[in-house]
Structure 1
Amino acid sequence: MAPSNITQRDPSQLKPWPGNARTHSKKQIKQIARSIETFGFTNPVLIDAEDNILAGHGRMVAAQSIGMRSVPCMLIEYMSDEQKRAYVIADNKLALNAGWDEEILAIELQALIDIPDLSFDIGVIGFEPSEIDILIDGQSPEDRSAPDEDDKLPPLDKGALVSRTGDLWICGDHRIYCGDSLNASTYEALMGEDRAQMVFTDPPYNVPVKGHVSGLGRTKHDEFAMASGEMSRAEFAWFLMSIFKHLNHYSSNGSIHFVCMDWRHMTEILVAGEEQYTELKNLIVWAKDNGGMGSFYRSRHELIFAFKNGTAPHINNFELGQSGRYRTNVWEYRGVNSAGPDRMEALALHPTVKPVTMIADTMRDCSARGGIILDAFGGSGSTLIAAEKTKRRAQLIEIDPIYVDRSIRRWQICAHDDAFHAETGQTFDEMAAQRQSSHHDAKSEDGLREVTS
């Protein structure tokens, strides 16, 4: 074996091996190019004396795609023609014969993800977000019929409200802001310069809770703070249009926005969506296992509109099932109106609570670990719990302090962690005790005034 030499060559002067059977998709060439940009050109192209490529065809094309004028090459002069012909095949095939210790791989992937302020996109290592999810979580789309432990809800606290309008709560990697999602200042306070990778939101359906939310009379709800049947069709379309405008501004170009709605208001959401979004990617039917309320056919489904913001490529982690995630636009998940020991607790927490498993699968479809998920109507916090479960970062807006409190308590039980107030630094429980004490003091003073008057 003769010594080999490292030399620099213009990639346009290199010649692909005439019998090279290895192919490279456009997607893979982009991956190689990103790797070169991140880590440098660490693996020289192998060439013979006539500048024929023996190994590194993909690297050469990737280098050209990012405008490199010179690439390191290793000159191989000792091989016979027969050896070169065999080596071109061997170099590709031998690498394919390797495997992975998936347990160690999952640990290494998680270690990379856990690095704060990682200086590069985790996707540069070549694994798709869905592959990383499956390797770390050990699962593809979950069992959609079985009860989800994460749908179990904390007991309702009947004490004084903790959250107030304008409060920003930090829940681990997540944030909840108590405010009006119609106001741009709310999004600015919540997100600042951050932009969401995906949106999942469940706006009020502009129907009164009374007569439209089942509970067999045992669970009573106040009406929603807005869009609870008081708006005309034109007003509701304007309401949705205003929300969508903010969601677009505070999410990345190419992001997918999943918006839940009932069949009664398809017209309004389509009008608003056509005005604000680039396209409607699909209409998803959430098929529950039992029917809800309704006289002319009991309604067993809800609709989820998948809109696209902008024209940049969107994240698609299922790709016709290529990565093990076979997904259609009919989603079968248990609803809270299904029989079960936690059914009434779920209805008590929020009248239109969505299953965590469904939202978590949606996040796995169109976002990556560490990506921001924006929800303009946080409700009972199911988006928050799904983000915690899938290692995304939820940023929620909720106008009603009752639901902000319930979401935080739910997250604290799920995450075994304490939420804290962004301004004061107090934990949620510390502020709850403080405001509960103030509430009791105020009641005592009121009682004393009544006695002495």
Structure 2
Amino acid sequence: MDIRIIPIEQLNAALYNPRVDLQPGDPEYEKLRRSLDEFGYVDPIIWNEQTGNMVGGHQRYKVMVHEKGCTELAVSVVNLDPERERLLNLALNKVSGRWDDEALAQLLNELQEGGADLDLSGFDSEEIGELITEFNGMPDTEIDLQVVEDDFDVQGALDQIKEPETRRGDVWQLGQHVLMCGDSMNAEDVARLMDGIKADLVVTDPPYNVAVQSDSARLAEAGTSSIMNDDMPAEEFAGFLHAIFEQYAVAMEPTAAIYVFHPSSYQREFEDAMNAAGITVRCQCVWVKNVATFGWAQYRWKHEPVFYAYKKGKVPAWYGDRTQTTVWRAGLPTEDPLPETVWEVSKGDVTKYVHPTQKPLELLAIPIRNSSRRGDTVADFFGGSGSTLMTCEQLDRLCRTMELDPVFCDVIKLRHQATTGIEPVLLDRADPES
């Protein structure tokens, strides 16, 4: 191999080069630029001494000269007539080794688990995700776990609670799960809840800032029929969202997915806060309900959007099959048996729903099945009536959940005990004198 240092004035672009001429800002151009920034100029341009044309490396030339200001470059020199030069150009652009996809998926997975920035590999997150899903996924039995509604009487539980047993700052063990009565914006509370554990998945339903009210007479009497932190000025709500997603980002494994239920009216605020915390939205799923909301709007709401997101620069773990789409269907009659980006899940008997934003277990099972395995840790810092925890109970996941309202912490404890027979155990009380 003849390697020489040649002034850039002698390196001519081959006018016949059939490759697309990339421009700054093009995804492939930016991948090449980042690779050269990270690893340096390790693959020399091929230059034909006979014609002065570059045979291979036109895009590398562009980055090295226009981005880095090089005035001379190391090149691999060939001496070919014009016809053979064109044939070599085609061969360089066309001939390449075939990937062993399974070995490639394993290598990418190992690099990701080691914290490597996979953007430098030249593969985009969609390609990496598809490879890892296809070759490193769990068997179908993982997806086939069934979830049934527990039909827990939340109103009856509220009637039992004259004075909540739970105090602010309490940490409770509920079988294999952990519940804390705390503030999802507070880093100390989140650290106490997680106790050094990172979440393999987040499923969360933060307040929507739309002043949702419960129909529960018990909650109305106690003055707690509305969700805490659900009626703030716009600027305060934006700060609230930034704070909670910062805490989620800290609590998540690098490969954790995060599913975020949110209102259409505050979609931009949610996504801005997620982006600021280094969380990137991959797509939006839609839950189609069996009943529309009551009201006088021209179009009554019968769906709820859900962001599917992950940490920027990472690939979220995926254990679902390749038939999953952004429509989620379950519990409603449909001609198409496959879930899509719209999740059609019956709310069941809505008269039993007391917490204003209570979700059916079958709905929460969709993201939990697709993005976690048995034994994984699922985090939800807005526990509500405990639906995420109860879904994790049936799917053999470990839930770490936070709830600000002591009354609903007691509801979660009663709900878990009613299903499992396991009594809650107080692990820690922040201030015994309070």
TM over 0.5: yes
**Structure-1 separation of matches of 2:227 and 2:287:** 25
**Structure-2 separation of matches of 1:206 and 1:34:** 39
Matches within 5 A, 1:1-400: 25-27=100-102, 128-129=137-138, 131-134=140-143, 137=145, 148-154=148-154, 155-156=156-157, 157-210=160-213, 215=215, 220=220, 222-224=224-226, 226-229=228-231, 231-296=232-297, 297-321=299-323, 326-335=338-347, 340=349, 343-347=350-354, 350-400=355-405
What is the aligned-residue RMSD (CA, Å)?
3.1
Q: Cα distance, 1:352 vs. partner?
A: 1.0
Letter in 2 for 1:232: P
**Structure-1 separation of matches of 2:387 and 2:304:** 16
**Structure-2 separation of matches of 1:304 and 1:34:** 27
**Structure-2 separation of matches of 1:243 and 1:277:** 12
Aligned to 2:6: none
Query: Does structure 2 retain, via aligned residues, the 8 Å contact 1:169–1:420?
Result: yes
Aligned to 1:105: none
Q: Cα distance, 1:239 vs. partner?
A: 0.7
Matched position secondary structure for 1:197: strand
Q: Cα distance, 1:319 vs. partner?
A: 4.3
Query: Does structure 2 retain, via aligned residues, the 8 Å contact 1:286–1:302?
Result: yes
Please, which moves more after superposition, 381-390 or 155-164?
155-164
Q: Cα distance, 1:423 vs. partner?
A: 3.5
Q: Cα distance, 1:364 vs. partner?
A: 0.5
Matched position secondary structure for 1:129: coil
Could you report, residue by residue, the CA deviation over 1:370-422 in whole angstroms, capped at 9, with x for unpaired residues? 11111011010000001101111100011100110001111111222222111
Q: Cα distance, 1:224 vs. partner?
A: 4.2
Q: Cα distance, 1:228 vs. partner?
A: 2.1
**Structure-2 separation of matches of 1:307 and 1:277:** 10
Query: Does structure 2 retain, via aligned residues, the 8 Å contact 1:245–1:276?
Result: yes
**TM-aligned CA distance change 1:270 to 1:162, over 3 Å:** same
**TM-aligned CA distance change 1:130 to 1:257, over 3 Å:** farther
**Structure-2 separation of matches of 1:189 and 1:419:** 17
**Structure-2 separation of matches of 1:151 and 1:130:** 30
**Please, what TM-score do these two structures have when normalized by structure 1?**
0.59
For structure 1, the residue ranges without an aligned partner over 5 or more in a row are 1-22, 36-122, 143-147, 425-434, 436-453
**TM-aligned CA distance change 1:128 to 1:268, over 3 Å:** same
Q: Cα distance, 1:25 vs. partner?
A: 4.4
Query: Does structure 1 retain, via aligned residues, the 8 Å contact 2:149–2:361?
Result: no
Structure 1 ranges of 4+ moved more than 6 A: 32-35, 216-219
Aligned to 1:446: none
**Structure-2 separation of matches of 1:306 and 1:381:** 21
Q: Cα distance, 1:134 vs. partner?
A: 4.2
Letter in 2 for 1:133: E
Letter in 2 for 1:345: K
Could you report, residue by residue, the CA deviation over 1:330-377 in whole angstroms, capped at 9, with x for unpaired residues? 001112xx5x3xx33322xx1110011111121001111111111011
For structure 2, the residue ranges without an aligned partner over 5 or more in a row are 1-97, 111-131, 325-336
Q: Cα distance, 1:34 vs. partner?
A: 9.9
The equivalent position to 1:407 in structure 2, one of 404, 412, 415, is 412
**TM-aligned CA distance change 1:282 to 1:32, over 3 Å:** closer
Quote the sequence identity (%).
Answer: 28
**Structure-2 separation of matches of 1:305 and 1:32:** 29
Query: How many equivalent pairs are there?
Result: 293
**Structure-2 separation of matches of 1:244 and 1:33:** 27
Query: Does structure 2 retain, via aligned residues, the 8 Å contact 1:254–1:314?
Result: yes
Could you report, residue by residue, the CA deviation over 1:137-175 in whole angstroms, capped at 9, with x for unpaired residues? 3x5xx7xxxxx4324335222332110011110011110
**TM-aligned CA distance change 1:270 to 1:282, over 3 Å:** same
Q: Cα distance, 1:29 vs. partner?
A: 6.3
Matched position secondary structure for 1:380: coil
Matched position secondary structure for 2:150: helix
**TM-aligned CA distance change 1:294 to 1:419, over 3 Å:** same
